[in-house]
Amino acid sequence: MRLGDNDTILDLPPNQRPRANLKSRQRWAQLICEYLQDLPRQLDTIRAILEIKDYTKIKKQAHRIKGTSGTYRLDAISESAAQLERSADAQNPDKIATTLNNIVSLVEMESGRLNSHAALSSDGPERTADG
Amino acid sequence: MRLYPLTAPKGLQMAELVPHILTVDDDPHLVAVIEHFVLEWGYTHCGVNSSAQMWKELEEKNPSIILLDIALGDADGITLVSQLRQQFPSIPVIMITVHATIETAVRSVKAGAYDFICKPLDFERLRIEIGKAIAHNYLSLQVKAFQSAALNTDFHGMVGRSEPMRNVYRLIETVAPTDATVLLLGETGTGKELAARAIHECSKCCNEPFIAVNAPAIPHELIESALFGHEKGAFTGAHRQHIGFCEQANGGTLFLDEFCEMDYGVQAKLLRFLEDHIVQRVGAKSPHKVSVRVIAATNRDPNVQIENNKLREDFYYRLSVVGIELAPLRERPADIALLTRYFLNIAAAKYGKNMPSVMPKAMRLIEGYDWPGNVRQLEHLLDQIVIVNSTTKITPEMLPPEIANAASRRRLNTDTQIRSNTDKCMPSIPEMEQLLIIQALELTANSVRAAAKHLGLSEATLYRKIRKYGISRTSIKARTAGKTRG
């Protein structure tokens, strides 16, 4: 199960998606959607922390985003969160701000992709993993 | 692929035995994605976001495994895992970490983690790890419980330290080394077969066979052949030679359970066998001698059976060379707590769960109940509680209504007695009504129609009142059956 940098699990052929029955796929898409909707709030929190220059807290938040976005196979976001973590370690506020902006763009891009995917795959049930 | 060896008892849904996973991670989105997959794999799941929520959840439910984030917001995962190991040593903990360093792995395992898995989560690996941890937990629980069960029995598999039980142990020790025929008497579920096995284990023939024959389970027309055997072609359908139970037990012990259920003709043949120990298979040309020690058991009153022409008097006297009576559980309440712990331990191991503790109030109810089905009834109840509930504590609400009602009825009886003795105040009308209904049902062998007639009520009214007061007809039935036997 290999994914490209900009792929999500929804880009996999239906029979390779985790337990890819229709209900499961819909729930999975819903979970990604909820996560993408919540990410800007998390990024705002990091911005607020950056104001007070609490780099330990920023690192912790970035660490969390790295793990969870990676689990959702949002690899580009996960990679940027790792970059954010490194910048917090280096206590580099400019780099942190740039990376935060970068993540915002990635979130918007992923959300757009997810919406167009949902529109395309609403034609009918696809073949399940179990056949 | 499910690694968890599930065996659902008859009548129970597999879902009731499904392992429960607890995920502890401060990111609710990660908990949500784990839940998505864990439910797909057929487990039940609960996710929490803090250590405080985790401890609260552990008070209520007993998970099969815990998935714990190493960098939890309000606590350090490594510290938490060592606390978990101390308080819940049998629940495996799988650590979730972003940093997959050797140092983290070593620290986690040293603190007591079963394994660790890295973020981003590989769900195939997570599925395998969960399966492995559950199977491992199940096996280690079983080994521990059976070891402890073996160590905790008081006398050759029998459990109980009360005076009646100590008398039974003493009698068994005295009679076991002899060849004397033993008659075991006791209500159903008092452990007659266990006592028979204990006699066999303490006897000089302990390494020889122990053959148990449950008479009511064998059709009347086959019992003679089952006991004494037959030759090939002895009768229609005898396609091969059969060695009977009396011969199979040669050198060892033959246990005749519920011997009162055997018909007169078979009793005569067994009497003869007890006299001369000679077996002749049906259709055989010559008899041969065997050396067998016979232990018999019944839950009926042999004297009543003799009066009713169901039991041969000579057969009974030949069997009762030494008689041992096993006390019903209600006459040895001191053993109930011990038996409860013993059976909970076994049930928890059998169903791959952690052994729950019994809350004092629930234990008081258990100890105060009459247990018409005796030890067997207690064992089945605890089995059922362990299967149905995934909790660490057994509460009064988990007990069937007849146990709680028995306690309130006893209180009612006592209260009524005290009140009439002191003549200070009378019991309330509903209390008296409840008592009268119970007495009427007991008097009429649990027949609602007869009880209604006796009380001057319609059947429908009596049914309504039985429901209103939560009167258990099952326990009345069992009690009246016990009285009939006694």
Residue B281 CA to residue B269 CA, distance in Å, equals: 12
- Spatial CA neighbour of A28 closest among A39, A20, A36: A20
Of A28, A35, A78, the CB nearest to B29: A35
Phi, psi of B279, rounded to the nearest 5 degrees: -115, 135
Check residue B414 and give its pLDDT: 54
SS3 B257: strand
Q: Which of A71, A74, A84, A89 to mutate to test the interface with B (most CBs of B within 10 A)?
A: A71
Does residue A23 belong to the interface with chain B, where contact is any CB pair within 8 Å? no
A44 touches chain B (CB under 8 A): no
B340-380 confidence digits (pLDDT tens)? 988 998 888 888 777 888 988 889 889 888 899 999 999 99
Q: Is the ipTM of this complex over 0.90?
A: no
What is the distance between the alpha carbons of residues B30 and B49, in angstroms, rounded to a whole number? 10
For residue A125, pLDDT over 50 is answered with: no
Predicted pLDDT at B8: 35
> For residue A74, which phi and psi values (nearest 5 degrees)?
-95, 70
Q: Note the pLDDT of residue B438.
A: 83
> Distance from A15 to chain B by nearest Cα, in Å?
15
The percentage of residues in chain B with a pLDDT greater than 70, rounded to a whole number, is 87
pLDDT of residue A126: 41
Q: Please state, rounded to an integer, the average pLDDT across all residues of chain B.
A: 83
How big is chain A, counted in residues? 131
Which B residues in the span 124-143 are in contact with A, Cβ-Cβ below 8 Å? none
Distance from CA of A70 to the nearest CA of B (A): 5
Are residues A68 and B29, on separate chains, in Cβ contact within 8 Å?
A: yes
Plot region of A124 (φ>0 → left; ψ -120 to 50 → alpha; else → beta): left
Which among B26, B45, B119, B127 is the top mutation candidate for probing chain A, defined by the most A β-carbons within 10 Å of its own β-carbon?
B119
Q: What angle, 0 to 180 degrees and rounded to 10, lies between the N-to-C axes of helices B429-443 and B473-485?
A: 50
Record: contact A78-B120, CB cut-off 8 A: yes
Half-sphere exposure of B54 (CA within 13 A, CB side): 27
**CA–CA separation, A60 vs A84, rounded Å?**
10
* Helix, strand or coil, per DSSP, at residue B380: helix
End-to-end CA distance of chain A: 18
Which of B1, B29, B36, B69 has the highest number of chain A CBs within 10 A, making it the mutation to test binding with A? B29
| CB-CB neighbors (< 8 A) of A78 in chain B | 120
Q: What are phi and psi of B331, to 5 degrees?
A: -95, 0
Residue B485 has pLDDT above 80, yes or no: no
Q: Which residue of A has its CA nearest to B34?
A: A71
What DSSP state is assigned to residue B158?
B
HSE at residue B483, side-chain half, CA atoms within 13 A, is: 12
DSSP A52-93: TT-HHHHHHHHHHHHHHHHHTT-HHHHHHHHHHHHHHHTT-H
Smallest Cβ–Cβ distance between B40 and the set A19, A69, A70 belongs to A19
Q: Do A70 and B119 touch (CB under 8 A)?
A: yes
Of residues B71 and B231, more confidence is placed in B231
Confidence of residue A12 (pLDDT cuts 50, 70, 90): very low
- Give pLDDT tens digits for A81-94: 999 999 999 999 99
Better pLDDT: A118 or B344: B344
- The H or E element that residue B142 is part of is helix B123-152
List CB contacts (< 8 A) between A73 and chain B.
Answer: 120
Shortest Cα distance, chain B CAs vs residue A38, angstroms: 9
Q: Indicate yes or no: CB of B120 within 8 angstroms of CB of A63.
A: no
CA distance B33 to A23: 15
Give the DSSP letter of residue B256.
Answer: E
* Three-state helix/strand/coil letters over B294-319: EEEEECCCHHHHHHCCCCCHHHHHHH
Distance (Å, rounded) from C-alpha B94 to C-alpha B24?
A: 10
pLDDT value of residue B387: 87
At B9, the pLDDT band (50, 70, 90 cuts) reads very low
Distance between A78 CA and the closest CA of chain B, angstroms? 9
Query: DSSP state, B23?
Result: E
Interchain CB distance below 8 Å, B30 and A67: yes
Give the residue ranges of DSSP H helices in B234-359: 245-248, 264-276, 302-307, 313-319, 336-350
Instruction: Tell me if chain B has a CB within 8 Å of the CB of A66.
Output: yes
What sign has the CA pseudo-torsion B309, B311, B313, B314?
positive
At residue B482, the pLDDT reads 53
Alpha-carbon distance B382 to B340, whole Å? Answer: 7
At A37-63, the pLDDT tens digits run: 999 999 999 999 999 999 999 998 998
| pTM score of the predicted model | 0.52
Give residue A43's identity as a one-letter amino acid code.
L
Tokens encoding B454? 């006796």
Are the beta carbons of A73 and B32 separated by less than 8 Å?
no
